Amino acid sequence: MATTIWAQSWSWALTALPLFIWMGEILYRTRLAANMFSGLAPWMNALPGRLLHVNVVSCGLFAAVSGSSAATTATIGRITIPELEKRNYDQKMIVGSLAGSATLGFLIPPSIILIVYGVAAEVSISRLFIAGILPGLMLMILFMGYIMAWSLLYPDRTPPPEPRMPFLKRIRATAGLFPMLGLIVGVIGSIYAGFATPTEAAAIGVVGALFLSAVSGNLSWSSFSESVMGATKTTCMVTLILAGAAFLSVSMGFTGIPRTLATWVGSFDLTQFQLLIALTFLFAIMGCFLDGISIVVLTASVIMPMVQAAGIDLIWFGIYLVVVIEMSQITPPVGINLFILQSMTRHDLLAVAKMAFPFFLVLVLATLLLIVFPQIATFLPSLMTRG
């Protein structure tokens, strides 16, 4: 047991985990997230659905610096829910669009769960990060497309557009987004350009987040210590799950369960498509009762042999797995995003789940698109390999 836990926990790749979590905790305590609404609203006002799109784009931007779905839900929800309610937007779409869009925290790099998957599956975390970019953008487009379609079907449930803001004034309002965009480019760009490993990029991100926090006037000893403690608690939780799952994987290896299960599934002679559909149902059911990280580490030893035997690319499978796990964030009874939104609104858990259901279906569509068009996830990593 001691040997297994040590072998799992000393991995250098895992160093990126607490650093990215800390970066998100620092930014969570700055005004940068609040600047997103005022910076994005003038540009979204002309689209069908109007300011509901701010939920999607804000979640995509914050996901790129937090790596956590729960943190994205809590941070963006605090900002956008009061603003959209004040403007009389449809309550179901406010909550539903936020619940669905906040799952981007799992997919858009730097994703905590992709780091965990990379360690568990022994694949390149850098390539996983790059692979998550296009699927993340695809999900944002699908979410915004659904909002547009809904608003065109129910025009009476969307408030009238706000007064048009002059172009230069819109540019000045958007200036508040530039620091966060610069941090995103610095972190992800350094990995893509080959200047930094994920761990080094995480360190760059922490330094950049501290600098932005200081410049914005939010850096104090109190906020610094709170961010360190928040990151420490989250890291300890994830590390304990990883350590326990590593020992469980070894134990299951001794029992022969993974080998037997892989042989049993192999006896059905399933095609790649059939295997992926079966795994989608399996992960969706598990997601109703377990959090995403637990699903990854508990199933890695059982699923990976089957996936490799079927000739499925492990980088692509990591992105597919994260998209399927994203569904679990908005499905009861253990949907973390649902619990957070329940605490922030006056609705009960089932009501929030109903509001999020259309966006759950969008995630199902995204999963099918990934299966039918795997290049969505493999195109950018293949360019990275050629480079």
What is the pLDDT tens value at each position of the chain, 387 positions in all?
788 777 767 777 677 778 877 887 887 777 776 677 778 888 888 889 888 999 999 888 888 877 777 778 877 887 788 888 888 899 999 999 999 998 888 888 878 889 889 888 888 888 998 999 999 999 999 999 999 999 999 988 888 877 777 878 888 878 877 887 888 888 878 877 778 887 888 888 899 989 988 888 888 899 899 989 988 887 887 777 667 766 776 776 677 665 676 667 667 777 888 888 888 888 888 777 777 777 787 777 778 878 888 889 999 999 999 999 888 778 887 677 888 888 878 888 889 999 999 999 999 999 999 999 999 999 988 886 665
Contact between 197 and 11 under an 8 Å Cβ cutoff? The reply is no
DSSP code at position 359: H
* 117, two tokens: 């998957």
Query: pTM of the entire structure?
Result: 0.81
DSSP code at position 18: H
Cis peptide leading into residue 198 (ω within 30°): no
Rounded-to-integer distance, Cα 48 and Cα 5, Å: 52
Rounded-to-integer distance, Cα 331 and Cα 344, Å: 17
Triad 350, 320, 129: Cα angle to 5°: 110
Cis peptide leading into residue 333 (ω within 30°): yes
Q: What are phi and psi of 333, to 5 degrees?
A: -90, -5
Helices of type H across 160-287 = 167-174, 178-192, 198-215, 221-255, 257-266, 272-287
Amino acid at site 86: K
Can you say how many angstroms the Cα of residue 79 is from the centroid of all Cα atoms in its chain? Answer: 19
Intra-chain end-to-end CA distance of the chain, in Å: 41
CA-closest candidate to residue 383, choices 89, 36, 70, 127? 127
Burial class, 307, CB count within 10 angstroms (exposed 0-12 / middle 13-18 / buried 19+): buried
Positive or negative, the CA dihedral 5, 10, 16, 18 is positive
CA-closest candidate to residue 67, choices 115, 31, 119, 128? 115
Domain range for 31 is: 2-386
Q: Which pLDDT does position 262 carry in this prediction? A: 60
Can you say how many angstroms the Cα of residue 126 is from the centroid of all Cα atoms in its chain? Answer: 16
Furthest C-alpha separation in the chain: 68
Residue with structure tokens 């580490």?
A: 297
CA-closest candidate to residue 198, choices 186, 185, 188? 188
Rounded-to-integer distance, Cα 227 and Cα 359, Å: 31
In the chain, the number of structural domains is: 1
* 351, two tokens: 């009501």
Going through 61-216 in order, the beta strands assigned E by DSSP cover none
Q: What are phi and psi of 44, to 5 degrees?
A: -90, -10
